[in-house]
């Protein structure tokens, strides 16, 4: 059986810039930072006092108030992003598709951290019998996908992928495979996360992975910069509508880009640190290119994982240079980290970064790496698009996501022919 072509026909995003894909993209190309002093936790208790929060988010503006109260914040984000993606793809106008051929893989790395934390406090104060009866369906990571399917009546594949910071990209890749091989005609795919709470911030701080540039929040996330001191936690959701190409054409759908290749590997090295030589990352990208039938010279843009951590930035730069060459050998390759602006959304980050790649292809514009003022000599000689967006004709782009546990995922996107 020949693999079917898969395209993207809808986009939805909730990010530290607010609700909506247009707001997300415009903030990126303007080089704005969505990082600020945290408001949802008591920062006096924390060494890290900054994050990429979705400020002024009122779920009741988008979701029935009674139902919203039964959802963790990550589920609320997922539903809002999915609604934008569904409307963007005009799926509500599609009536002749078998509902068992429309599926959902909208995942989370952590699930309902806030729900878990709130109910633990309730147990300590009032006893275990005072847990909310909705604790489990609010907390478990598969409930974002479940809730989306219930809302729209999508009865096809419904699952999640949990692979730390690679979660969103794995979800898109698995949805891509499902359509390629005929298990679905349409898939909603992406990730959602809401871990800015005492447990989330405290745990990552104890692991010494978070930036402590508390006095300068907008300058804290600085991938590849010599003064980087850790990542900044963000929250939100990204959802994409993936669709079989002929199916999309037949119904006259707007087609943003083609999903052309997917690669996935493991470092098999350490629970937190990446392989210092980046071999897992190299092979993830290599396999994605091979799956797409492309060579390294065919890629004009890489949205890097680029977390602003000491070891991670170096390992990824080695992986990219080893496969693609530096900017002397490959002057047409642009690499940037949008995490410099929105922070690290953990399980949702691959989804919103995939959206950034789609927009870069459509708008002929590469978002910058802000705060890259003094490039670390250990991160190679790549063009990291420092400080300002760059006009470029992007025919093919690659998005990388690498997670704790050494789990790597890469997606190749192409302009539609």
Q: What is the pLDDT of residues 212-250, one digit of tens each?
A: 999 999 999 999 999 999 999 999 999 999 999 999 999
The pLDDT tens digits for 370-379 are 999 999 999 9
240 with 272, same domain? no
CA–chain centroid gap for 198, Å, is 22
Q: Which of 363, 355, 413 is nearest to 393 (CA)?
A: 363
What is the token pair recorded at 40?
């949802």
Instruction: Using the predicted structure, report yes or no on whether residue 81 has a pLDDT greater than 90.
Output: yes
Q: Would you tell me the crossing angle of helices 73-88 and 143-152 to the nearest 10 degrees?
A: 40
The domain that contains 52 carries what CATH number? 3.40.47.10
Contact between residue 18 and residue 34 where contact means Cβ atoms under 8 Å apart? no
Q: Tokens 């690679």, residue? A: 166
Mean pLDDT of 38-53: 96
Read off the pLDDT of residues 355-393 as tens digits, 9 standing for 90 and up. Answer: 999 999 999 999 999 999 999 999 999 999 999 999 999
246 & 266 share domain: no
pLDDT-derived band at 59, boundaries 50, 70, 90: very high
Looking at the chain, the whole-number percentage of residues with pLDDT higher than 90 is 97
In a domain, 348, yes or no: yes
**274 and 378 housed in the same domain:** yes
Q: Which of 225, 250, 275 corresponds to the end of one domain?
A: 250
Report, as an integer, the average pLDDT of 112-137: 93
In a domain, 220, yes or no: yes
Is residue 185 in some structural domain? yes
| Distance from C-alpha of 304 to C-alpha of 336, rounded to nearest angstrom | 6
Shared-domain flag, residues 320 and 195: no
Q: Is the pLDDT of residue 94 over 90?
A: no
Residue 180 CA to chain centroid, in angstroms?
A: 22
Residue 96 pLDDT exceeds 90? no
Per-residue model confidence (pLDDT) at position 357: 98
In this structure, is residue 2 part of a structural domain? no
Q: How far apart (Å, rounded) are the C-alpha atoms in residues 23 and 26? A: 5
Parent domain of 311: 262-414
Can you give the pLDDT at residue 1? 66
Residue 2 confidence (pLDDT) above 90: no
Tell me the pairing of strands 186-193 and 102-107. parallel
Say if residue 285 is in the same domain as residue 407. yes
Q: What is the mean pLDDT of the chain?
A: 97
Task: Average the pLDDT over 50-68 and give the result.
Answer: 97
Quick one: 244 and 267 in the same domain?
no
404 and 362 in one domain? yes
Within this chain, do residues 245 and 274 fall inside the same structural domain, yes or no? no
Is 333 exposed, middle or buried, given 0-12, 13-18 or 19+ CB atoms closer than 10 A? buried
What's the pLDDT band for 97 if we cut at 50, 70, 90?
confident
241 with 8: CB under 8 angstroms? yes
Tokens 């509508």 -> residue: 241
Query: What's the length of the chain?
Result: 417
Please count the structural domains in the chain: 2
- Residue pair 368/31 in contact by the 8 Å Cβ criterion: yes
CB 354 within 8 A of CB 242: no
Query: Catalytic site residues?
Result: 165, 305, 344
Closest CA to 178 of 285, 108, 259, 250: 259
Q: 164 and 52 in one domain?
A: yes
Does 350 fall in a domain?
yes
Residue 120 lies in a domain: yes
Mean pLDDT, range 160-181, rounded to an integer: 98
Q: Are residues 267 and 246 in the same domain?
A: no
Q: Are residues 244 and 288 in the same domain?
A: no
Which among 194, 225, 250 is the end of a domain?
250
Q: Which 3-state string (H, E, C) describes the chain?
A: CCCCCEEEEEEEEEECCEECHHHHHHHHHCCCCCCEECCCCCHHHCCCCEEECCCCCCHHHCCCHHHHCCCCHHHHHHHHHHHHHHHHCCHHHCCCCCHHHEEEEEECCCCCHHHHHHHHHHHHHHCHHHCCCCHHHHHCCCHHHHHHHHHHCCCCCECCCCCHHHHHHHHHHHHHHHHHCCCCCEEEEEEEECCCCHHHHHHHHHCCCECCCCCCHHHCCCCCECCCCCECEECEEEEEEEEEHHHHHHCCCCCCEEEEEEEEEECCCCCCCCCCCCHHHHHHHHHHHHHHCCCHHHCCEEECCCCCCHHHHHHHHHHHHHHHCCCCCCCCCEEECCHHHHCECHHHHHHHHHHHHHHHHHHCEECCECCCCCECHHHCCCCCCECCCEECCCCEEEEEEEECCCEEEEEEEECCC
Strands 6-15 and 236-244: antiparallel
Distance CA(33)–CA(217), nearest Å, equals: 9
CA-to-CA separations, 180 to 227, 277, 280, 354, 404, in angstroms, rounded: 44, 33, 25, 18, 28
- 402 lies in some domain: yes
Residue 140 lies in a domain: yes
Q: What is the mean pLDDT of residues 81-106?
A: 94
Q: Which pLDDT does position 93 carry in this prediction?
A: 83
Residue 154's nearest CA partner among 61, 212, 92, 215 is 92
Claim to verify: residue 274 and residue 212 sit in the same structural domain: no
When pLDDT is averaged across residues 142-159 and rounded to a whole number, the result is: 98
Last residue of a domain, which of 229, 250, 271? 250
Tens digits of residue pLDDT in 322-355: 999 999 999 999 999 999 999 999 999 999 999 9
């Amino acid at each position: 059986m020949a693999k079917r072509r898969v395209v993207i026909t809808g986009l939805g995003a909730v990010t530290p810039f607010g609700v909506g894909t247009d707001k997300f993209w415009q903030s990126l190309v303007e080089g704005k930072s969505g990082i600020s002093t945290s408001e949802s936790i008591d920062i006096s208790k924390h060494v890290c006092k900054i994050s990429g929060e979705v400020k002024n988010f009122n779920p009741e503006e988008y979701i029935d108030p009674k139902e919203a109260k039964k959802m963790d914040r990550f589920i609320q984000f997922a539903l809002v992003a999915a609604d934008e993606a569904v409307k963007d793809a005009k799926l509500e106008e599609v009536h002749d598709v078998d509902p068992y051929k429309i599926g959902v893989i909208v995942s989370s790395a952590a699930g309902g951290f806030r729900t878990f934390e709130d109910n633990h406090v309730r147990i300590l104060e009032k006893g275990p019998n005072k847990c909310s009866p909705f604790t489990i369906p609010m907390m478990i990571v598969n409930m974002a996908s479940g809730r989306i399917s219930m809302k729209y009546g999508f009865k096809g594949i419904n699952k999640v992928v949990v692979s730390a910071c690679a979660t969103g990209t794995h979800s898109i890749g698995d949805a891509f495979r499902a359509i390629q091989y005929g298990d679905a005609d349409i898939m909603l795919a992406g990730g959602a996360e809401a871990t800015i709470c005492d447990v989330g911030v405290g745990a990552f701080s104890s692991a010494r992975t978070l930036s402590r540039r508390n006095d300068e929040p907008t300058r804290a996330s600085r991938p590849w910069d010599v003064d980087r001191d850790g990542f900044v936690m963000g929250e939100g959701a990204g959802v994409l509508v993936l669709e079989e190409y002929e199916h999309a054409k037949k119904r006259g759908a707007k087609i943003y880009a083609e999903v052309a290749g997917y690669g996935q590997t493991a470092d098999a090295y350490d629970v937190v640190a990446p392989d210092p030589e980046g071999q897992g990352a190299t092979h993830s990208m290599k396999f994605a290119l091979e799956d797409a039938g492309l060579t390294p010279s065919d890629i004009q843009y890489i949205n890097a994982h680029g977390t602003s951590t000491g070891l991670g930035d170096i390992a990824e730069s080695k992986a990219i240079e080893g496969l693609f060459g530096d900017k002397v050998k490959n002057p047409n390759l642009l690499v940037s980290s949008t995490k410099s602006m929105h922070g690290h959304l953990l399980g949702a980050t691959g989804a919103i970064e995939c959206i950034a790649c789609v927009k870069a292809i459509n708008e002929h514009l590469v978002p910058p790496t802000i705060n890259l003022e003094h490039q670390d000599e250990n991160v190679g000689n790549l063009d990291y698009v420092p400080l300002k967006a760059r006009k470029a004709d992007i025919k093919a782009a690659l998005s990388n996501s690498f997670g704790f546990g050494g789990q790597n995922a890469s997606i190749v996107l192409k302009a539609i022919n």
